[in-house]
Homo-oligomer: A and B are copies of this chain.
Amino acid sequence: MWADYEQDLLAVEDRLLQFAGDANDYIRDVTSHIIRSGGKRLRPLLMVISSRLSGYSGPDMTLLSAVVEFIHTATLLHDDVVDHAEMRRGRPSANQVWGNQAAVLVGDYLYATALWMATGIHIHEINDVLTLACRKMSEGEVLELMLDNNLAAREEDYFNVVECKTAALTAGTCRMGAILGNLDPLRKKALEDFGYYIGMAFQVADDTLDYMAQKDRLGKTLGKDLSEGKMTLPLLHCLAHSPTPQREVLVQRIGQGEITDMHLGEVVGFMKTTGSLDFSLERAVSFMRKAKQSLDPFPDSLHKQNLLALSDFIIERDL
């Protein structure tokens, strides 16, 4: 799937480094550090396939692919400050190397640069979609912060956060592909829906894998969400379905900071008894199925097949 878009994605990398290099040395260093740290480039890939499925493969496809990755990168920089992160994808996070101040301000710079690049295309419909997605994302970040360590959090609060912080940008990304290709309103909506559901599936799967994945495969620390008090779906489900003594242990672990392997093993054990991991994965799979169904208005093609394969990958990557 990636192979079909290798040239497109290489052009996006060039564009990312070009815009990172366009600033002073310091911004370039911080930006290159986080850009080169091996993100999955999921959003550029969505932009590229959506554009090509819509019949567009001109320069604005590459530019907007870089834009959505820059916006995503900016939120990572701010997230790491907010979460006091020390590592990102197996390397020291930017805030660890350059300090919180640099991470906040370079994040602002990347975000501003991305919007300056995007509005330079001069398509109002693109601007409307992108700035609304950005607004929802930042609202989602605040909503997530409000839920941290919040034992009154409900599943619907969680899904609202995921919708804002993740699905808004993936939905907007796919819709921008359809806009570049001048599709009719029905297919624009179809691609937007695809992006929405794949974003939901991705985030719910990611939040579940935080309790399942093997540490060396993702370069992530297992149990990170628990130690940070993130009220994600498996934890909410487990809390709601735990008998009182088990619930009391869970409450103690939420936001505890350092989580030992033993503590984590115990919590994962609880989640197995309440079926919370299976429940969460099933929700991710359900969003994935809706993503696939959204593409029904499109006839079969290489690009449609690749979007369907991407949907499977979102779920199966680490299982």
Residues in A lying within 8 Å of B, measured CB to CB = 23-24, 26-27, 75, 78, 81-82, 100-102, 104-106, 108-109, 111-113, 115-116, 119-120, 122, 124, 127-128, 131-132, 134-135, 137-139, 141-143, 145-146
Contacts and interface: CB of A to CB of B under 8 A. Distances in A.
B131 A116 contact: yes
Contact of A112 (B119, B122, B124, B134): B134
Contacts of A27: 139, 142
Given A131-B115, A143-B24, A138 B108 contact: yes
Which one of A105, A113, A139, A146 has the highest number of Cβ atoms from chain B below 10 Å of its Cβ? A105
A199 B135 CA distance: 28
A140 to B, nearest CB: 9
Nearest to A122: B124
B119 A137 contact: no
Contact of A142 (B26, B115, B143): B26
A15 to B, nearest CB: 16
The 9 closest A-B pairs by CB, nearest first: A116-B131, A119-B127, A109-B138, A108-B138, A112-B134, A112-B135, A82-B101, A112-B138, A105-B141
Contacts of A132: 116
Contacts of A119: 119, 124, 127-128, 131
Contacts of A142: 23-24, 26-27, 102, 105-106, 109
Nearest to A25: B146
Nearest to A137: B112
Nearest to A84: B101
A137 B146 CA distance: 29
A201 to B, nearest CB: 24
A64 to B, nearest CB: 15
Nearest to A110: B138
Contacts of A101: 81-82, 145
B141 A113 contact: no
Given A111-B111, A142-B24, A104 B127 contact: no
A79 to B, nearest CB: 9
